[in-house]
Amino acid sequence: MTSTDDAPLLVYGPRSTTYDFGPGHPLTPRRFGTGISLLETLGAVPNLAPEPATDEELAAIHEPDYVATVRMFSETPFGSPRAGIGPGDTPPFAGMHEASAAVAGGSLRAMEAILRGEVRHAFHPGGGLHHAMPARASGFCVYDDPALAVARARADGLRVLYVDLDVHHGDGVQAIHWSDPGVMTVSIHQSGATLFPGTGFANELGGGEARGTKVNLPLEPGTGERGWLAALERALPRLAERFQPEIVVSQHGADSHAFDPLAHLRVTTPAMGAAARLVDAIAHRWADGRWLATGGGGYDAYRVVPRAWALVWLAQAHREVPDALPEAWRERWAADADRHGQAPIPTAFTDPPNAGHREDAASARADERAIEIADRVLELVERALTVS
Ligand SMILES: [Zn+2]
């Protein structure tokens, strides 16, 4: 472990809240009010304000025609749907290009600070837009900042391990780096059989000489944190040892939580914190501590997202998790939480162990299945890596 005085870089600034699809959209910038203020009570200080990535930087993974389309919607936010932008998940809004490019820029600048050796760990809560494709927006994501950060590390020749903890499959990052054997993606998520984006099955292993470097752990609805964390603890250290990454990028979507309104896993905060600490341990074991963490999904902006972000930041700062949430912070947000149907705000950072789990036979079975899936996937990966 590194000394505790090298504080993680924290990416947040005025542009972060401009990534806003409008009132009623689940990915609300209200999460920055609760989330950043909770980080600040822990002593965190945002010290990298995102600015838009250039078109040349975006072109590392995005088609220029697609960027031109986003710019068009950005200036004229209406008209026929195109390139995944339209009414529904990813509607156009004024300034869409600048806001989306700033998310990308935040992850790129954080990655470069790590590559220059200025910091070991960086956290970009507004990043993690893992569904965006080279020429298409998807699932609230316009530009794929984690895929761009991975590409930036690849430009320096580093082997990259990407870990995606969002409840949805990290399909954009997987697709963009599908044929690169120098990128291992590992996504644990609710199975695409029952959830957007409908991909992320065990047999998706990567293309050509990259076969065996794309890894998916698709879990059944109802899986609790026992199964989720056990699958991760079983798979991730072995995959890291097999791949030997030189840098780690992770996506910490908070929507695997039992309270989340859009999905059906039943993970709670102790497992989320443990997962962040597992990623930290892997970064130190294999990658000299080089680790960029991003946020991601998470649609309970009061009870879940702030605590999930705090647990990532505390893991990066190598600090223990305090017991109680600050009372003044809870009071500050109580009325808003109530108004948005996400009350009461819990009193502790960590939910009671396994709090989200339904104690029934189907849930117990889903937890057992998670471990079986991890073992089966490890076999598939080992076979693919041995053959190729
Ligand atoms: Zn660390």
Quick: pLDDT tens for 287-303: 999 999 999 999 999 99
Ligand 1 centroid distance, CA of 120 (Å): 7
Q: Where are the domains of the chain?
A: 9-387
Report the pLDDT value the prediction gives residue 85, as an integer from 0 to 100: 97
Q: Is the pTM of this model over 0.95?
A: yes
Q: For 9-387, CATH number?
A: 3.40.800.20
Ligand 1 centroid distance, CA of 119 (Å): 10
- Average pLDDT of the residues in 373-383: 98
Tens-place pLDDT, residues 163-221: 999 999 999 999 999 999 999 999 999 999 999 999 999 999 999 999 999 999 999 99
Ligand 1 centroid distance, CA of 3 (Å): 9
Mean pLDDT of all residues belonging to the chain: 95
Q: In what order do the strands lie in the sheet with 9-10?
A: 9-10, 121-124, 291-294, 247-251, 160-164, 183-190, 214-219
Ligand 1 centroid distance, CA of 203 (Å): 32
Ligand 1 centroid distance, CA of 313 (Å): 10
Ligand 1 centroid distance, CA of 307 (Å): 19
> Residue 40: is its pLDDT beyond 50?
yes
Ligand 1 centroid distance, CA of 386 (Å): 31
Tens-place pLDDT, residues 327-343: 999 999 999 999 999 99
Q: Is the peptide bond before 245 cis (omega within 30 degrees of 0)?
A: no
> Residue 326: is its pLDDT beyond 50?
yes
Ligand 1 centroid distance, CA of 272 (Å): 16
SS (H, E, C) 143-180: CCHHHHHHHHHHHCCCCEEEEECCCCCCHHHHHHCCCC
**What angle is formed at CA 155 by the lines to CA 152 and CA 159, rounded to 5 degrees?**
85
Report the pLDDT value the prediction gives residue 356, as an integer from 0 to 100: 72
Ligand 1 centroid distance, CA of 125 (Å): 17
